[in-house]
Amino acid sequence: MTVETTIRAAITGVHGHLPDYVLDNAELARIVDTSDDWISERTGIKERRILKGEGLGTSHMAAEAVRGLLARTRTSPQDVDLLICATTTPDFVFPSTANIVCDMVGIRNIGSFDVQAACSGFVYALTIATQFIGTGTHRKIIVVGADKMSAIIDYTDRATCVLFGDGAGAVLVEPSPNGCGIHDTIIRSDGAGMPYLHQKAGGSRMPPTAETVGKRLHYVHQEGATVYKVAVARMAEVAVDLMARNKLTPESLDWLVPHQANRRIIEATAERMNLPMERVMMVIQKYGNTTAATIPLCLWDYEQQLKIGDRLIMAAFGGGFTWAGAYLTWAYERSVGRFA
Ligand SMILES: CC(C)(COP(=O)(O)OP(=O)(O)OC[C@H]1O[C@@H](n2cnc3c(N)ncnc32)[C@H](O)[C@@H]1OP(=O)(O)O)[C@@H](O)C(=O)NCCC(=O)NCCS
């Protein structure tokens, strides 16, 4: 929907967290029948991070990202008035990971909830935050995208285990300080895509049993070729729609911030937008597909290069199928204001 009501929301800070353990392609080639050449050529991924440690779930990474965000933006936990966590790998079915993260970082008595839209989750959650700021009811919202994909990846399935990694990225969303911010968002879905990308067991349709565990049904099931085709079509569709709706030419755009699933999907999206790759954020080589964390991790990685007024389009695609996008102008610079 076009955001032309009331108060413009803006991202006013970003922070990320990546676990220390680096799982590179060479190590994966010792686990499954694959090679650095195959993974690099087909996906662009060289390495990804894995969260190790007894009892550590998605909340651990999300809380680290949120703590860093609070420190960098000099925001007190008492001043945050909503926290939304986008994740497909919550610590528990319930309570929500958002609830747990609030407790871990000392944020009390506010609304918090998870958003489940697979790899589009961060843009979905950002869209929700934009509405809460727009109506004037909330002034400091944290949106965190976090996933511990290693918890649901089958490390005997070479077609999926090479793709994913663990990580978290958080942004602060506030009323715009200068007119820059989120101008337009799109969220879409098609549940007919379920068979091609889902986790078969563990939910209410097929609760966990010894048999479901034995049959390895608690892992990501993906039909890669179908997902690839739909991902290219939908990511490009949402990005091109946002350009048309907001009268943006390729020349007037500064950055594409794409979900990082596969370098070839990103390149195809940029090509359909007529955007050169120098203006496309890319971190997939270092982190793989971190699901809801890819877009905030891109922003975190490229933050030093972003200038006030830069025009960005975010585009994401994920299980569901879901796809989503946002058009925003960047509202702050690392070297000025409270970031000096
Ligand atoms: C998974 C993906 C990289 C596979 O690439 P692809 O070029 O489509 O490869 P295919 O699935 O056609 O498989 C080609 C061959 O490589 C093999 N292969 C699959 N994974 C492999 C691996 N890690 N190492 C070596 N060979 C592998 C397949 O078994 C197949 O062999 P075969 O021809 O003997 O049957 C690609 O389909 C993809 O990226 N899909 C989208 C995934 C995605 O984005 N998911 C998240 C959405 S948010």
Amino acid residing at 34: T
Does any ligand 1 atom lie closer than 6 A to the CB of residue 120? no
Residue bearing the CA closest to ligand 1, atom 7: 42
Q: What is the mean pLDDT of residues 101-119?
A: 98
289 labelled catalytic: yes
Q: Which of 119, 161, 180, 298 is catalytic?
A: 119
For the beta carbon of residue 309, count every other beta carbon within 10 angstroms: 13
Q: What is the pTM of this model?
A: 0.96
pLDDT mean across residues, the chain:
96
259 labelled catalytic: yes
Q: Which of 40, 42, 264 to mutate to test the pocket of ligand 1 (most atoms within 8 A of CB)?
A: 42
Q: Which of 102, 259, 262, 298 is catalytic?
A: 259
Look at residue 340 in the predicted model and tell me its pLDDT: 37
60 labelled catalytic: no
Strands (E), the chain: 9-17, 21-24, 47-50, 82-86, 111-115, 141-148, 166-175, 182-189, 197-199, 220-222, 255-258, 311-318, 322-329
Look at residue 4 in the predicted model and tell me its pLDDT: 53
Nearest ligand 1 atom, CA 264: 39
User: Tens digit of pLDDT for each residue in 231-288?
Assistant: 999 999 999 999 999 999 999 999 999 999 999 999 999 999 999 999 999 999 999 9
In which residue are the tokens 């990082």 written?
260
Indicate if the pLDDT at residue 338 is higher than 60: no
